[in-house]
Chain A
Amino acid sequence: MISMIRLFLTLTKINNRQALRYPLQAALRLLASIVFLLMFALAARSTSKADLAESLLATLIVFLSIVALTKTANLLESEAREEVFLYPYPIWKLQLVRAFSVSALSTLGLVAVYGLLAGSWAQFGSAFLLIVFAYLGAVGLGLSLFGLHLLFVKTDFLVNVVLIGILTLAFLPMEKAPPWVEWVPLVNVVRVAQGFSEGDLGVLIANVGIVALGILVAGYAEREVVRRGIAGLA
């Protein structure tokens, strides 16, 4: 665990060192993200009864979740496919650390911006908890997709389908959503954020279960590709 934290800190430092080489671009990227989130939240508000703060939180959750999911699913470039097997860790651990480190600073930045708009500590606290649940759900889904990518190589389309599904369900007018939507990871968190659901703790904790499922799928995929002799082959 300590070695993974050390690796996370090192990767975050290196990634951000690169970002800070071009400070104007880093600042503009953060600004663009904030503007995009606000505009999306305004658009989302017009399709539901949520107020701006709720819509903004829902949008932020979806945005961060998509980042977390895609970075975790991170379809390996062909030249690096074999190399993930050359580290002294199970692959899912390395993939998690890489995903967290790539999105760490932008996540903190956006959450801090939301904190400034939130108005109260209590509101920020509950929002932060929702973000954590959503993030875990996204990482879990991302790990499952990563496992499928290890097994079947060409899975870009599947990742796109999952992303489109999440976006569609998250921003459907929620009054019309069918009851099973409550159990869809990420989407259930967005529903809570928009005030359409009470936030049953059991439902939210399902997002943690998705992480466990993701670890199982990625671990199985790692063993299976070695058994079949196709580890790292494009």
Chain B
Amino acid sequence: MIGDRMISVQSAGVAYRPFFHGGKIVLEEVTLKISKSEVAVFVGPNGAGKTTLLRLILGLIAPVQGEVRTLGFDPTLHRPAIMRRAGVLLNAKRHFEPRWTPRDVLEFGAVAYGVKRVKKRIEELLERFRLLEYERTFVAALSTGTYQRLALAFTLVHDPELWVLDEPTLGLDVESRKLLLDEIQAFKRQGKAVLLTSHDPSLVNQSFDRVFFIREGRVREERGHGQNHYVRLRINAPREGESHLVVRLEELGETIGRLRQQGFEIRHLESVSVLEKGHDQHDQVVSNAHQDQ
């Protein structure tokens, strides 16, 4: 690591080049830096390249151009060293043996990642992620939310320095979501970094320090928390059908809650843009939406 920097991506490009098929460029000229104690969020529409960027940072895919450093290592050459120090949830889930119990899963994880005091660590995680009452239940019998909490606990089993979460709120109920947000903040307070992708506007709103807007394989904008930037949501109005809504990012959670109460169906962040003169437009769109009601 250079100083406080945990991740550095410089002019990186990524392409899929499978056997027997043509290649496809999926990321171009990506540059970003993430330091200790930062919570960084990648947002963007489906297929924009968010998960690919995580895979690049973790060494699951080699850049065709540019340079990547994660925790001080070249991830393509030193993926195992990075995995020793990073907790990773990709594609919103981990796959566990259905006939294992949460205790088995955590024991395997602890040993696989070289934890010294295995039993103590398992007890701690079972309690922190409210899994104690399910510790003897087969993984196959867990509810979606409990399974997801187990997956999150698994990623933290070796007390990593970097927490990488790809759509971590999928399947989580309100309480579990709060638990996740608390864990993210605790992680940050310890001087560690969190990197996540999300379609979940409320998560983006509540927990980020930096937002990277990714679209068509490029990082479009990067802004810190508290600055004026706006996101465009796709919503379904009860009578008018699909429309767009521009909202200031800091007010996103509150606005979404209000719209939901009024019967609007909120889609994911299908499209994101940053507007220089968006304040008026924001008010106008929200008030139009209210009139539609």
Contact partner of B104 (CB less than 8 A), chosen from A14, A230, A232, A233, is: A14
The secondary-structure label for the interface of chain A is helix
Q: Is the CB of A229 within 8 A of B17?
A: yes
Q: A10-B107, A88-B84 are in contact. List 6 more A-B contacts (CB 8 A).
A: A11-B108, A18-B99, A77-B95, A87-B80, A88-B83, A229-B16
Chain B's closest residue to A80 (CB) is B95
Give min CB distance, B230 to chain A, whole Å: 33
Q: Is the CB of B62 within 8 A of A226?
A: yes
Q: Is the CB of A230 within 8 A of B18?
A: yes
Q: Please provide the chain A residues from 55 to 74 with a CB less than 8 Å away from any CB of chain B in the complex.
A: none
Chain A residues lying within 8 Å of B81, measured Cβ to Cβ, are 88
Chain B residues lying within 8 Å of A77, measured Cβ to Cβ, are 95
Q: Is residue A151 within 8 Å, beta carbon to beta carbon, of the partner chain?
A: yes
A interface footprint on B1-37 (CB within 8 Å = 1, 0 otherwise): 0000000000000111111000000100000000000
Q: Is the CB of B111 within 8 A of A231?
A: no
A151 to B94, CA, bound (A): 22
Query: Which B residues are closer than 8 A to A by beta carbons?
Result: 14-19, 26, 55, 58-62, 76, 79-81, 83-84, 88, 90-91, 93-95, 99-100, 104, 107-108, 111-114
Chain B's closest residue to A232 (CB) is B60
Q: Which of A87, A229, A230 has the most CB of B within 10 A?
A: A229
Q: Is the CB of A86 within 8 A of B108?
A: no
Q: Is the CB of A152 within 8 A of B19?
A: yes
Given A17-B104, A228-B17, residue A86 in contact with residue B114 (CB < 8 A): no
Given A3-B114, A6-B111, A229-B17, residue A85 in contact with residue B104 (CB < 8 A): no
Chain B residues lying within 8 Å of A80, measured Cβ to Cβ, are 95
Sample of 20 A–B contacts (CB below 8 Å):
A6-B111, A10-B108, A11-B108, A83-B94, A85-B59, A86-B88, A87-B112, A88-B80, A88-B81, A88-B83, A88-B84, A88-B113, A88-B114, A89-B80, A94-B112, A151-B19, A226-B60, A227-B62, A229-B62, A230-B16
Q: Is the CB of A231 within 8 A of B61?
A: yes
Chain A residues lying within 8 Å of B26, measured Cβ to Cβ, are 229
Q: Is the CB of A82 within 8 A of B108?
A: no
Chain A's closest residue to B93 (CB) is A79
Give min CB distance, A203 to chain B, whole Å: 35
Q: Is residue A7 within 8 Å, beta carbon to beta carbon, of the partner chain?
A: yes
Chain A's closest residue to B55 (CB) is A231
A156 to B61, CA, bound (A): 25
A228 to B19, CA, bound (A): 8
Q: Is the CB of A86 within 8 A of B83?
A: yes
Contact partner of B90 (CB less than 8 A), chosen from A83, A226, A230, is: A83
B interface footprint on A160-180 (CB within 8 Å = 1, 0 otherwise): 000000000000000000000
Query: Which A residues are closer than 8 A to B by beta carbons?
Result: 3, 6-7, 10-11, 14, 17-18, 77, 79-80, 82-83, 85-90, 94, 151-152, 226-233
Chain A's closest residue to B88 (CB) is A86
A90 to B81, CA, bound (A): 10
Chain B residues lying within 8 Å of A226, measured Cβ to Cβ, are 59-62, 76, 79
Given A85-B60, A89-B80, residue A228 in contact with residue B16 (CB < 8 A): yes
A232 to B16, CA, bound (A): 12
Chain B's closest residue to A14 (CB) is B104
Q: Is the CB of B90 within 8 A of A7?
A: no
Chain A's closest residue to B83 (CB) is A88
Q: Is the CB of A229 within 8 A of B15?
A: yes
Chain B residues lying within 8 Å of A94, measured Cβ to Cβ, are 112
A130 to B277, CA, bound (A): 78
Q: Is the CB of B80 within 8 A of A82?
A: no
Chain B residues lying within 8 Å of A228, measured Cβ to Cβ, are 16-19
Chain A residues lying within 8 Å of B60, measured Cβ to Cβ, are 82, 85, 226, 231-232
Can you list the 6 inter-chain pairs with the closest CB atoms, starting with the nearest? A88-B84, A80-B95, A10-B111, A229-B16, A88-B83, A229-B61
Chain A's closest residue to B110 (CB) is A10
